Amino acid sequence: MSSNLKKSGSNAHELSLPHEEQLKKIGEVRTAVSPIPEKLSKFCSDAQIARYLRARNWNVKKATKMLKDSLKWRLEFKPEQIRWEDVASEAESGKVYRSTSVDKEGRPVLVMRPSLENSKSVAGQIKYLVYCMENAILHLPSNQEQMVWLVDYWNFSLSNISLKSAKEAAHVLQNHYPERLGVAILYNPPRLFEQFYKVVKPFLEAKTRKKVKFVYTDDESTKKIMEEVFEMDQLESAFGGENPETFDIQKYAQRMKEDDEKMRSFWEEASVVDSSCNNGLIMHERSLSDPSEGEAESDGTPSSSTAEDSRASTPDVGLSVATVSLEEPGHVKV
Protein backbone atom coordinates (compact mmCIF):
# COMPACT_ATOMS: atom_id res chain seq x y z
CA MET A 1 0.00 0.00 0.00
CA SER A 2 1.20 3.47 -0.73
CA SER A 3 1.68 6.04 2.01
CA ASN A 4 1.51 9.80 1.86
CA LEU A 5 4.36 11.93 3.16
CA LYS A 6 3.60 15.16 4.95
CA LYS A 7 6.36 17.62 5.58
CA SER A 8 6.28 19.20 9.02
CA GLY A 9 7.41 22.69 9.86
CA SER A 10 10.57 21.22 11.36
CA ASN A 11 11.62 19.69 8.02
CA ALA A 12 10.90 16.23 9.38
CA HIS A 13 8.75 13.91 7.32
CA GLU A 14 5.64 12.55 8.92
CA LEU A 15 3.96 9.52 7.43
CA SER A 16 0.22 9.49 6.85
CA LEU A 17 -0.80 5.88 6.34
CA PRO A 18 -4.03 4.32 5.06
CA HIS A 19 -6.24 3.02 7.88
CA GLU A 20 -5.59 -0.63 7.00
CA GLU A 21 -1.83 -0.09 7.16
CA GLN A 22 -2.16 1.67 10.51
CA LEU A 23 -4.09 -1.28 11.95
CA LYS A 24 -1.46 -3.68 10.63
CA LYS A 25 1.35 -1.77 12.33
CA ILE A 26 -0.66 -1.49 15.56
CA GLY A 27 -1.04 -5.28 15.49
CA GLU A 28 2.68 -5.74 14.93
CA VAL A 29 3.53 -3.58 17.94
CA ARG A 30 0.97 -5.39 20.10
CA THR A 31 2.50 -8.73 19.16
CA ALA A 32 6.00 -7.43 19.84
CA VAL A 33 5.21 -6.31 23.39
CA SER A 34 3.33 -9.50 24.29
CA PRO A 35 2.77 -11.24 26.64
CA ILE A 36 1.08 -8.47 28.60
CA PRO A 37 -0.71 -8.72 31.94
CA GLU A 38 -4.38 -7.74 32.09
CA LYS A 39 -3.70 -4.23 33.39
CA LEU A 40 -0.98 -3.52 30.86
CA SER A 41 -3.14 -4.80 28.04
CA LYS A 42 -5.81 -2.23 28.90
CA PHE A 43 -3.20 0.50 28.68
CA CYS A 44 -2.15 -0.77 25.26
CA SER A 45 -5.34 0.08 23.40
CA ASP A 46 -5.19 0.65 19.66
CA ALA A 47 -5.40 4.40 20.27
CA GLN A 48 -2.51 4.27 22.72
CA ILE A 49 -0.30 2.19 20.44
CA ALA A 50 -1.13 4.51 17.53
CA ARG A 51 0.19 7.46 19.56
CA TYR A 52 3.51 5.69 20.06
CA LEU A 53 3.65 4.84 16.36
CA ARG A 54 2.90 8.44 15.35
CA ALA A 55 5.59 9.65 17.73
CA ARG A 56 8.06 7.41 15.90
CA ASN A 57 6.74 8.14 12.40
CA TRP A 58 5.05 4.71 12.18
CA ASN A 59 8.33 2.85 12.57
CA VAL A 60 7.29 -0.40 14.28
CA LYS A 61 10.69 -1.20 15.78
CA LYS A 62 11.18 2.25 17.28
CA ALA A 63 7.59 2.49 18.53
CA THR A 64 7.89 -0.96 20.12
CA LYS A 65 11.03 0.03 22.01
CA MET A 66 9.41 3.29 23.11
CA LEU A 67 6.28 1.51 24.35
CA LYS A 68 8.29 -1.17 26.17
CA ASP A 69 10.26 1.55 27.94
CA SER A 70 7.01 3.24 28.96
CA LEU A 71 5.50 0.00 30.23
CA LYS A 72 8.58 -0.67 32.33
CA TRP A 73 8.52 2.90 33.62
CA ARG A 74 4.84 2.62 34.53
CA LEU A 75 5.41 -0.66 36.33
CA GLU A 76 8.04 1.05 38.46
CA PHE A 77 6.42 4.46 38.90
CA LYS A 78 2.76 3.39 39.25
CA PRO A 79 1.20 6.73 38.21
CA GLU A 80 -2.31 5.31 38.61
CA GLN A 81 -1.67 5.01 42.34
CA ILE A 82 -0.76 8.67 42.94
CA ARG A 83 -3.40 10.37 45.07
CA TRP A 84 -4.02 13.94 46.15
CA GLU A 85 -2.56 13.36 49.61
CA ASP A 86 0.69 12.27 47.93
CA VAL A 87 1.13 15.57 46.10
CA ALA A 88 -0.89 18.12 48.10
CA SER A 89 2.21 19.85 49.46
CA GLU A 90 3.48 20.39 45.90
CA ALA A 91 0.10 21.70 44.78
CA GLU A 92 -0.72 24.20 47.51
CA SER A 93 1.03 27.17 45.89
CA GLY A 94 -1.00 26.87 42.68
CA LYS A 95 2.09 26.34 40.53
CA VAL A 96 0.25 23.76 38.39
CA TYR A 97 -3.46 23.02 38.23
CA ARG A 98 -6.17 21.93 35.83
CA SER A 99 -8.36 24.87 34.92
CA THR A 100 -12.13 24.62 35.29
CA SER A 101 -12.41 25.76 31.66
CA VAL A 102 -11.29 24.06 28.45
CA ASP A 103 -10.12 25.35 25.08
CA LYS A 104 -12.31 25.70 21.98
CA GLU A 105 -11.76 22.06 21.11
CA GLY A 106 -12.78 20.87 24.56
CA ARG A 107 -9.25 19.99 25.60
CA PRO A 108 -8.36 20.25 29.30
CA VAL A 109 -5.99 23.07 30.24
CA LEU A 110 -3.11 22.77 32.68
CA VAL A 111 -2.14 26.20 34.04
CA MET A 112 1.47 26.52 35.16
CA ARG A 113 3.14 29.36 37.03
CA PRO A 114 6.89 28.74 37.48
CA SER A 115 7.26 31.72 39.84
CA LEU A 116 5.15 29.82 42.38
CA GLU A 117 7.53 26.87 42.55
CA ASN A 118 7.55 25.77 46.17
CA SER A 119 9.74 22.68 46.10
CA LYS A 120 13.41 21.84 45.64
CA SER A 121 12.67 18.17 45.01
CA VAL A 122 12.82 17.26 41.32
CA ALA A 123 11.21 13.91 42.14
CA GLY A 124 8.35 15.67 43.90
CA GLN A 125 7.88 18.17 41.09
CA ILE A 126 7.75 15.44 38.44
CA LYS A 127 5.43 13.28 40.51
CA TYR A 128 2.97 16.18 40.78
CA LEU A 129 3.28 16.93 37.06
CA VAL A 130 2.48 13.30 36.28
CA TYR A 131 -0.51 13.45 38.62
CA CYS A 132 -1.78 16.56 36.82
CA MET A 133 -1.34 15.01 33.38
CA GLU A 134 -3.13 11.84 34.44
CA ASN A 135 -5.95 14.01 35.76
CA ALA A 136 -6.12 15.96 32.49
CA ILE A 137 -6.31 12.70 30.52
CA LEU A 138 -9.13 11.58 32.81
CA HIS A 139 -11.10 14.62 31.65
CA LEU A 140 -10.51 14.35 27.91
CA PRO A 141 -13.71 14.30 25.84
CA SER A 142 -14.22 11.21 23.71
CA ASN A 143 -13.16 13.02 20.53
CA GLN A 144 -9.88 14.38 21.91
CA GLU A 145 -6.61 12.87 23.09
CA GLN A 146 -4.51 15.96 23.81
CA MET A 147 -4.25 18.61 26.51
CA VAL A 148 -3.18 22.28 26.55
CA TRP A 149 -0.40 23.74 28.67
CA LEU A 150 -0.79 27.42 29.56
CA VAL A 151 2.40 28.67 31.20
CA ASP A 152 2.16 32.05 32.95
CA TYR A 153 5.51 33.82 33.45
CA TRP A 154 4.17 36.38 35.91
CA ASN A 155 6.91 37.44 38.34
CA PHE A 156 9.30 34.92 36.81
CA SER A 157 13.03 34.73 37.43
CA LEU A 158 15.54 32.07 36.45
CA SER A 159 15.82 31.03 40.09
CA ASN A 160 12.29 29.59 39.83
CA ILE A 161 13.29 26.64 37.68
CA SER A 162 16.21 24.31 37.16
CA LEU A 163 17.64 22.79 34.02
CA LYS A 164 17.42 19.34 35.62
CA SER A 165 13.69 19.57 36.33
CA ALA A 166 13.02 21.04 32.87
CA LYS A 167 14.93 18.21 31.17
CA GLU A 168 13.15 15.61 33.29
CA ALA A 169 9.72 17.07 32.50
CA ALA A 170 10.54 17.05 28.77
CA HIS A 171 11.74 13.46 29.01
CA VAL A 172 8.61 12.26 30.77
CA LEU A 173 6.22 14.13 28.47
CA GLN A 174 7.86 13.05 25.21
CA ASN A 175 8.76 9.46 26.09
CA HIS A 176 5.83 8.38 28.22
CA TYR A 177 2.99 10.68 27.07
CA PRO A 178 3.53 10.77 23.29
CA GLU A 179 1.06 12.85 21.31
CA ARG A 180 -0.67 14.04 24.50
CA LEU A 181 0.35 17.70 24.22
CA GLY A 182 -1.74 19.73 21.79
CA VAL A 183 -0.17 23.14 22.36
CA ALA A 184 2.02 24.81 24.99
CA ILE A 185 1.45 28.54 25.29
CA LEU A 186 4.22 30.51 27.00
CA TYR A 187 2.44 33.64 28.24
CA ASN A 188 4.51 36.81 28.69
CA PRO A 189 7.91 35.14 29.16
CA PRO A 190 10.59 37.71 30.04
CA ARG A 191 13.43 38.21 27.60
CA LEU A 192 15.83 36.45 29.93
CA PHE A 193 13.73 33.29 29.54
CA GLU A 194 14.67 33.16 25.87
CA GLN A 195 18.23 32.31 26.89
CA PHE A 196 16.99 29.49 29.12
CA TYR A 197 14.74 28.20 26.32
CA LYS A 198 17.73 28.00 23.98
CA VAL A 199 19.35 25.64 26.48
CA VAL A 200 16.21 23.49 26.88
CA LYS A 201 15.21 23.48 23.21
CA PRO A 202 17.69 20.76 22.13
CA PHE A 203 15.97 18.37 24.54
CA LEU A 204 12.65 18.87 22.77
CA GLU A 205 11.69 16.79 19.77
CA ALA A 206 10.82 18.62 16.55
CA LYS A 207 7.11 17.86 17.01
CA THR A 208 7.14 19.26 20.53
CA ARG A 209 9.01 22.42 19.54
CA LYS A 210 6.41 23.07 16.89
CA LYS A 211 3.67 23.06 19.55
CA VAL A 212 5.32 25.78 21.65
CA LYS A 213 3.76 29.23 21.12
CA PHE A 214 5.04 32.50 22.61
CA VAL A 215 2.39 35.08 23.52
CA TYR A 216 3.11 38.66 24.64
CA THR A 217 0.43 41.08 25.82
CA ASP A 218 2.20 43.93 24.05
CA ASP A 219 2.24 42.07 20.74
CA GLU A 220 -1.12 42.02 18.98
CA SER A 221 -0.04 39.37 16.51
CA THR A 222 0.72 36.88 19.27
CA LYS A 223 -2.34 37.84 21.35
CA LYS A 224 -4.46 36.49 18.50
CA ILE A 225 -3.22 33.03 19.42
CA MET A 226 -5.24 33.22 22.65
CA GLU A 227 -8.40 34.12 20.74
CA GLU A 228 -7.80 31.26 18.32
CA VAL A 229 -7.33 28.68 21.07
CA PHE A 230 -9.71 29.83 23.83
CA GLU A 231 -13.23 31.18 24.32
CA MET A 232 -12.31 34.51 25.89
CA ASP A 233 -15.37 34.59 28.15
CA GLN A 234 -14.17 31.34 29.74
CA LEU A 235 -10.46 32.13 29.90
CA GLU A 236 -9.06 33.38 33.21
CA SER A 237 -8.67 37.15 33.39
CA ALA A 238 -4.96 36.69 34.17
CA PHE A 239 -4.58 35.65 30.53
CA GLY A 240 -6.71 38.42 29.06
CA GLY A 241 -9.99 36.54 29.37
CA GLU A 242 -13.25 37.46 31.11
CA ASN A 243 -13.37 34.72 33.75
CA PRO A 244 -12.54 36.25 37.16
CA GLU A 245 -11.94 32.87 38.79
CA THR A 246 -8.56 32.34 40.47
CA PHE A 247 -6.87 29.35 42.04
CA ASP A 248 -8.41 28.30 45.37
CA ILE A 249 -6.54 25.47 47.06
CA GLN A 250 -9.55 24.33 49.10
CA LYS A 251 -11.84 24.07 46.11
CA TYR A 252 -9.12 22.48 44.02
CA ALA A 253 -8.33 19.89 46.68
CA GLN A 254 -11.99 18.87 46.76
CA ARG A 255 -12.08 18.49 42.96
CA MET A 256 -8.96 16.36 42.98
CA LYS A 257 -10.20 14.11 45.77
CA GLU A 258 -13.37 13.46 43.79
CA ASP A 259 -11.29 12.68 40.71
CA ASP A 260 -9.10 10.34 42.76
CA GLU A 261 -12.18 8.24 43.46
CA LYS A 262 -13.00 8.05 39.75
CA MET A 263 -9.42 7.04 38.97
CA ARG A 264 -9.36 4.51 41.81
CA SER A 265 -12.62 2.91 40.71
CA PHE A 266 -11.37 2.48 37.18
CA TRP A 267 -8.06 0.88 38.14
CA GLU A 268 -9.54 -1.33 40.85
CA GLU A 269 -11.82 -2.78 38.22
CA ALA A 270 -8.91 -3.16 35.83
CA SER A 271 -6.72 -4.87 38.44
CA VAL A 272 -8.91 -7.97 38.76
CA VAL A 273 -6.52 -10.48 37.23
CA ASP A 274 -6.05 -14.23 37.67
CA SER A 275 -2.86 -16.09 38.51
CA SER A 276 -2.02 -16.65 34.86
CA CYS A 277 -1.77 -12.89 34.46
CA ASN A 278 0.65 -12.75 37.37
CA ASN A 279 2.86 -15.24 35.56
CA GLY A 280 2.59 -13.08 32.48
CA LEU A 281 3.76 -10.07 34.50
CA ILE A 282 6.94 -11.90 35.53
CA MET A 283 7.63 -12.84 31.91
CA HIS A 284 6.94 -9.28 30.80
CA GLU A 285 9.25 -7.75 33.38
CA ARG A 286 12.01 -10.11 32.25
CA SER A 287 11.48 -9.18 28.61
CA LEU A 288 11.56 -5.49 29.51
CA SER A 289 14.89 -6.02 31.25
CA ASP A 290 16.43 -7.80 28.26
CA PRO A 291 19.47 -5.75 27.21
CA SER A 292 18.86 -6.71 23.58
CA GLU A 293 15.70 -4.64 23.66
CA GLY A 294 17.55 -1.48 24.64
CA GLU A 295 19.59 -0.85 21.53
CA ALA A 296 19.83 2.82 20.73
CA GLU A 297 17.74 4.09 17.87
CA SER A 298 18.98 6.81 15.60
CA ASP A 299 15.81 8.63 14.66
CA GLY A 300 16.81 12.21 15.20
CA THR A 301 15.08 12.40 18.57
CA PRO A 302 16.81 13.62 21.74
CA SER A 303 18.99 11.24 23.66
CA SER A 304 17.36 9.42 26.57
CA SER A 305 20.13 10.54 28.88
CA THR A 306 17.52 11.80 31.28
CA ALA A 307 16.02 8.34 31.66
CA GLU A 308 18.29 7.58 34.61
CA ASP A 309 17.20 10.78 36.32
CA SER A 310 13.61 9.85 35.59
CA ARG A 311 13.96 6.47 37.27
CA ALA A 312 15.57 8.16 40.24
CA SER A 313 12.70 10.58 40.60
CA THR A 314 10.16 7.76 40.25
CA PRO A 315 7.42 9.73 38.54
CA ASP A 316 4.93 7.38 36.94
CA VAL A 317 3.83 9.53 34.17
CA GLY A 318 1.40 7.88 31.89
CA LEU A 319 -2.04 6.88 32.39
CA SER A 320 -0.81 3.78 34.08
CA VAL A 321 0.39 0.35 33.48
CA ALA A 322 -2.50 -0.44 31.28
CA THR A 323 -3.60 0.21 27.77
CA VAL A 324 -6.19 2.81 28.22
CA SER A 325 -6.67 6.39 27.48
CA LEU A 326 -9.01 7.81 30.04
CA GLU A 327 -10.96 10.62 28.54
CA GLU A 328 -13.94 12.00 30.41
CA PRO A 329 -14.80 10.74 33.90
CA GLY A 330 -16.03 7.16 33.74
CA HIS A 331 -15.27 7.00 30.03
CA VAL A 332 -12.56 4.87 28.52
CA LYS A 333 -11.40 5.70 25.03
CA VAL A 334 -9.96 2.77 23.12
- pLDDT of the chain, 334 residues: tens digit per residue: 333 333 333 334 556 789 999 999 999 999 999 988 777 777 888 999 999 999 999 999 999 999 999 999 998 999 989 999 999 999 999 999 999 999 999 999 999 999 999 999 999 999 999 999 999 999 999 999 999 999 999 999 878 878 899 999 999 999 999 999 999 999 999 988 888 888 889 989 999 999 999 999 999 999 899 999 999 999 999 999 999 999 999 999 999 999 999 998 877 775 554 333 444 444 444 555 454 444 444 444 444 444 334 333 333 333 333 333 333 333 334 3
Q: Would you state the pLDDT for residue 310?
A: 38
Q: Which class in CATH covers the domain with range 1-334?
A: alpha beta
Q: Is-above-0.85 flag for pTM?
A: no
Instruction: Tell me the domain boundaries of the chain.
Output: 1-334
3-class SS string, the chain: CCCEEEECCCCCEEEECCHHHHHHHHHHHHHHHCCCCHHHHHHCCHHHHHHHHHHCCCCHHHHHHHHHHHHHHHHHHCHHHCCHHHHHHHHCCCCEEEEEEECCCCCEEEEECHHHCCCCCHHHHHHHHHHHHHHHHHCCCCCCCCEEEEEECCCCCHHHCCHHHHHHHHHHHHHHCCCCEEEEEEECCCHHHHHHHHHHHHHCCHHHHHHEEEECCCCHHHHHHHHHHCCCCCCEHHHCCCECCCCCHHHHHHHHHHHHHHHHHHHHHHCCCCHHHHHHHHHHHHHHCCHHHHCCCCCCCCCCCCHHHHHHHCCCCCCCCCECEECCCCCEEC
